Structure formats: C-alpha cells, structure tokens
Amino acid sequence: MSEGREEKAEEKGDEHIWGRHEVAEALESGQAVRRIYFSRQARGEEIERIKELARANGVRFDFFEVAKLSKVAGTRAHQDVVARLSPVRMASLDEVLAALPERATIVALDQVQNARNIGMCARTAAAAGAAALLLPARGGHPLNDEVMRASAGAAFRLPIVQSANLVRDLERLKERGFWIYGLDAGGREDALRMQWPERRVLVAGNESKGLRPGVRKKVDALIQIPLHSGVESLNVAVALGVALFVDGAR
C-alpha cells in the first residue's frame, strides 16, 4: 500500500465506484478492485474498515486532495473514497455453462496465494484453450495489477469466474457432465497416462497446503505428474501446464 503518493488515477477502460458502503461491499464480495483512493481528510470507522479490507485483499490505496478525488469520481458525493475496478470482465458460472462446447476444460484455483502463479496459470489456461478459470472470491490472491502483468494480458482472453463457493460450483459442474481432477503430488493417477473425458475440471491447490479438505472430497481423482527421484514437486503453474497439454487435453 502507498499513503500520501498521488498517482494517475484513471486508466483507459477502468471503471470507478464511489461511496463508503459501495467500496466496502466491492471488497467484501471479491470484485476485482485494482486501487482505492481516499481524500486526505478521510476519517471514521468506515474508512478504517475499508483500509483493513484493502490490506486483507492486497489492494493498494493512495490519498488525493478532495478536488482531485471529485474529478476521478465525477461527483462531489464520493464520501471520501473511490475504487478503481479491474477492466477484466468477470463472468458468472451460468454464462460459462451456457456457452460451453461438448468438449471443454475448466481450470479452478483453490486459494493459490502467489500473484505470479495465478497470472501464469491464467496464461497457461488461455494458451491451452480452457473454457474458463474459476477463482475463489475469498482466500486466494486478488485479481490485481500484479496478476494482470504476470498473465501477460492472457487474463483478458478467457472468462474468469469469481466463485463464492468453490465446492458448490464444482458440484454444479459435475451435474453438467464434468469430471473433477485435483492436482496433487501424492495423487494415485498418472497425468501422463490418463484417458481424459470430454469434459473435465483441473483443480490446483494452495502452494503449501494443497487442496482444502472440502474441495478434495469433490474430486473424482487426484492426479500427479511423475517426477524423477530427488524432485518432490513442481510449481503450481508448471504442474497445471503439464496436465493441460498432455495428449487428449484439448
């Protein structure tokens, strides 16, 4: 976070929201907030709550003079706070399901924390022709500037769904004919020998903890990438790339 630095607030394609309740709601609901701007005179419990939410979500914030903040918001009724949202359009799972072909792969990240890993996973998923990327609304790294840079723009090329409940969404995908596979170094199935179904979801877990127990219960199989002796695991984005591009992946 940066306090007291005035940087260019508006970037082409960005959307702004303003108001204390509206900005707090955006952060709590997992919207892709890129930056928050406060007036230098911003005070009060609501303002402190927004700062804490921003810190928890890894969202940077800055302080502007009131006149400049009013210009960014396009109104004087901003209540001392404006949020800049990501230009990436978030899709709903319903939208993704409605547009799916018969053969489709979806990637889901279960609380992956490293921004570079998320960006690389997004780039890999787009390059492999994945139908969508599911990200949890809470618990993982927010979809911010760092993730966008790491994806090298690929995050703009595939639908991204912010899942409020990943376990529930995986269940919905099962109902639509998807098989769920969790990437796990201790998995029983060899990713290089798999006979992949027409519809599949590849779920990659947290860098240190792996898949959460609730998510693990929903997978049809845990798959692993066979490694030479002495190498315990792969980076999450590398493992995902191998699983996406093995024979029959697309």
pLDDT tens string, the chain, 250 residues long: the values are 444 343 444 444 457 889 999 899 888 876 778 789 999 999 999 999 999 999 887 788 999 999 999 998 888 999 999 998 876 767 889 989 999 988 999 999 998 988 899 999 999 999 999 999 999 877 777 676 677 777 877 777 788 898 889 999 999 999 999 999 999 988 889 988 888 999 999 999 998 898 999 999 999 999 998 888 777 778 899 999 999 998 544 5
> What's the pLDDT score for residue 150?
79
For residue 148, the model assigns a pLDDT of: 73
d(CA 15, CA 33): 10
Q: Are 91 and 130 in contact (CB under 8 A)?
A: no
Q: Let me know the angle formed at the C-alpha of 140 by 12 and 173, rounded to the nearest 5 degrees.
A: 95
Would you call 161 exposed, middle or buried from its count of C-beta atoms within 10 A (0-12, 13-18, 19+)? buried
The CATH 3.30.1330.30 portion of the chain extends over: 15-85
What's the pLDDT score for residue 9? Answer: 40
Domain(s) labelled CATH 3.40.1280.10 in the chain stretch across 90-245
- Top CATH class of 15-85 equals alpha beta
Domain range 90-245, CATH architecture: 3-Layer(aba) Sandwich (3.40)
